Structure 1
Amino acid sequence: MINLESVCKQTQEIAIEVGAFIKEQQSKIKTDDVENKGKHDFVTFVDKSSESRIIEALKPLIPDAGFIAEEGTETLTGEHYNWIIDPLDGTTNYIHGFSPFAISIALKKDDQIVLGVVYEISLDECFYSWEGAPAYLNGEIIQVSKATSIESSLVGTGFPYRDFDQLDTYIDLLKFLCINSQGIRRPGSAATDLAYVACGRFDAFYEYGLQAWDVAAGAFLVQQAGGKVCDFKGQNNYIFGQEIIATNPHNFLEFKNCVQKFMLK
């Protein structure tokens, strides 16, 4: 039987070690090192090298586990366990010398996430949890906020950079929240945004056009910290469904209904 607490501890150590490599390489990035995977979607040798380092370090922890990783450096699929990895969430921030940027690692057992680590590199903040445990930030238990309404909420989001089909309705929702919430923030790293919901810095977060490696660890942290997560339809297809809502339990219904009003037209 796998000891998830022990695996989580080792996963944190891997994230922190690779994070040091990422930070050390930041000053060495040149324009020629940046590849364009698509419009506004960038990758560097640091992303690819970091992913390889993470995967090689994770392999001994659960030998029969597979990998779902952003840069595709390993494509093995496990029967029961699969790691979901973003080696550098916030690459655009990273190449511009802007924060935040993070490593996101989740472990999926069958259809459930059972472990999540988000390491925000620039502030040296490691958010983590495993099945049956609270959520932690650098050893301290964290919880979602107690905001009870949109009016009392600071909201995190991200701007679409691939799929612009819903951009008009997204802007309408953004306008509503600018007027009716305590403010909107767009840090540029969905994994970090979700970790911030988990620790109460954000009261709510929503975004569409995301991939599993962007949200798997962070969404798990939100739930372990007492929060709620769903897709725009209010269902559970938020890891692979490319859209997510994450809030505390007190403002969840109002916020979900608000997102649905604009985004499900």
Structure 2
Amino acid sequence: MSDPGNESIVGRKSFTAVAINCAAKAGEWIKTKLGAYSSLDLKYSSQDLVTEVDRGSEKMIRNLIMTHFPDHSFLGEEGVEAGPEASKKALQNALEEEYVWIVDPIDGTTNFVHGFPFFSVSIALAYRGEVIVGVVYDPSRDELFVAEKGKGAYMHGKRTSVALQTTLRESLVATGLPADQHYALPINLKGVQAITPQVRNIRIAGSAALHMAYVAAGRLNGFWEIGLNSWDLAAGSLLIQESGGRVTDTFGEPYHLSVRNVAASNGHIHDELLDALKKAEAQG
């Protein structure tokens, strides 16, 4: 890289354009397959689903990205063996490369399978381990969330900003129901039981990437979940940070690509959310 400064200015624009194009094309194709998938397989558990549409979406995204950036590394959910250890190893291998694209071709496959319109395409680009581009696309609503490191976050060209509420009791927060029923799910349910009485309400809609995009857009005040992967979180983490929010692990340590237990918020309620998880012994 002869001129890192110039590369960051010129390069990121093309990186973002490619990410947007990939998310939009994959999302529109996924939408045509709603209710029309032909195969359904189980991965890590009976709640961890994959269809040929997931695989086709990832192949489409990979091919488009590699056409533009053949020297970059690619980490997609469907190219990794099921289970947390395989995910950890795949991420470690990918991060040895300077640039790595981190992709969830359908975040919310269970929703997609059941025709529940809350799923998304999540695409992030990391440079030397730091996320510099994040795109989350919701094909059902045709909502495109885009962030560039240091340049803000946007939804269809309008800058996004986190919600203004300052306490848990004023907040609408979200979480998930992890596919890992032996470890992550029991811990997350402890958090749900403890936090529900402390907030305005809780949403469990089934797409971590969209939940995080909603935090960035001010629709949710916070989100937490145990046992996620880099492809669930990478794009959404940048959306939130560039919208003025905060993303950490459940112990309050700064977010990085290896984080699996995440807490994200508008920033104002973050410490209170972390404290509630700690008291419930729900940090993972």
Please indicate, yes or no, whether the TM-score normalized by the shorter chain is above 0.5. Answer: yes
How far has the Cα of 1:122 moved from its partner? 0.7
Q: Is the contact between residue 177 and residue 183 of structure 1 (CA under 8 Å) also seen in structure 2?
A: no
Paired with 1:237 and 1:12, the residues of 2 have a C-alpha distance of: 24
How far has the Cα of 1:173 moved from its partner? 2.4
Which residue matches 2:177? 159
* Aligned residue pairs, count: 262
What's the C-alpha RMSD, in Å, of the aligned pairs? 1.8
Correspondences of 1:41-56 after superposition (within 5 Å): 41-56=48-63
Paired with 1:52 and 1:168, the residues of 2 have a C-alpha distance of: 34
Aligned in 2, Cα 1:21/1:228: closer, same or farther, shift over 3 Å? Answer: same
Paired with 2:187 and 2:60, the residues of 1 have a C-alpha distance of: 40
2:42 is aligned with 1:36? yes
Q: Report the 3-state secondary structure (helix = DSSP H, G, I; strand = E; otherwise coil) of the residue aligned with 2:275.
A: helix
How far has the Cα of 1:177 moved from its partner? 2.1
Measured against aligned partners, the alpha-carbon deviations of 1:84-140 in whole angstroms (never above 9, x if no partner) come to 000000000001000211000000101210000000111110001112211000111
2:128 is aligned with 1:80? no
Q: Letter of the 1:9 partner, please give it.
A: A
Q: Letter of the 1:221 partner, please give it.
A: L
Q: Report the 3-state secondary structure (helix = DSSP H, G, I; strand = E; otherwise coil) of the residue aligned with 1:234.
A: coil
Paired with 2:27 and 2:278, the residues of 1 have a C-alpha distance of: 37
Aligned in 2, Cα 1:167/1:50: closer, same or farther, shift over 3 Å? Answer: closer
Q: Letter of the 1:19 partner, please give it.
A: G
Measured against aligned partners, the alpha-carbon deviations of 1:153-203 in whole angstroms (never above 9, x if no partner) come to 101100121143354443332123221211000110000000000001000
Paired with 1:177 and 1:157, the residues of 2 have a C-alpha distance of: 10
Correspondences of 1:65-76 after superposition (within 5 Å): 65-72=72-79
Partner of residue 134 from structure 1, selected from 152, 155, 166: 152
Q: Is the contact between residue 83 and residue 108 of structure 1 (CA under 8 Å) also seen in structure 2?
A: yes
How far has the Cα of 1:250 moved from its partner? 1.2
Q: Report the 3-state secondary structure (helix = DSSP H, G, I; strand = E; otherwise coil) of the residue aligned with 2:31.
A: helix
Paired with 1:207 and 1:254, the residues of 2 have a C-alpha distance of: 16
Q: Letter of the 2:268 partner, please give it.
A: H
2:17 is aligned with 1:9? yes
How far has the Cα of 1:236 moved from its partner? 2.6
Paired with 1:173 and 1:201, the residues of 2 have a C-alpha distance of: 21
Paired with 2:182 and 2:259, the residues of 1 have a C-alpha distance of: 16
TM-score of the pair, normalised by structure 2? 0.87
Aligned in 2, Cα 1:167/1:104: closer, same or farther, shift over 3 Å? Answer: closer
The structure with more helix, counted as a fraction of residues: 2
Bigger shift: residues 161-170 or 191-200: 161-170
Q: Letter of the 1:207 partner, please give it.
A: E
Partner of residue 62 from structure 1, selected from 65, 69, 82: 69
Q: Is the contact between residue 238 and residue 244 of structure 1 (CA under 8 Å) also seen in structure 2?
A: no
Q: Is the contact between residue 227 and residue 246 of structure 1 (CA under 8 Å) also seen in structure 2?
A: yes
Q: Is the contact between residue 230 and residue 246 of structure 1 (CA under 8 Å) also seen in structure 2?
A: yes
Q: Is the contact between residue 157 and residue 206 of structure 1 (CA under 8 Å) also seen in structure 2?
A: yes
Bigger shift: residues 86-95 or 249-258: 249-258
Q: Is the contact between residue 99 and residue 187 of structure 1 (CA under 8 Å) also seen in structure 2?
A: no
TM-score of the pair, normalised by structure 1? 0.93
How far has the Cα of 1:238 moved from its partner? 5.2
Correspondences of 1:1-265 after superposition (within 5 Å): 1-2=7-8, 3-30=11-38, 33-39=39-45, 40-72=47-79, 77=94, 79-165=97-183, 167-237=185-255, 239-262=257-280, 263-264=282-283
Q: Letter of the 2:19 partner, please give it.
A: T
Paired with 2:225 and 2:244, the residues of 1 have a C-alpha distance of: 20
Percent identity, aligned pairs only, is 35
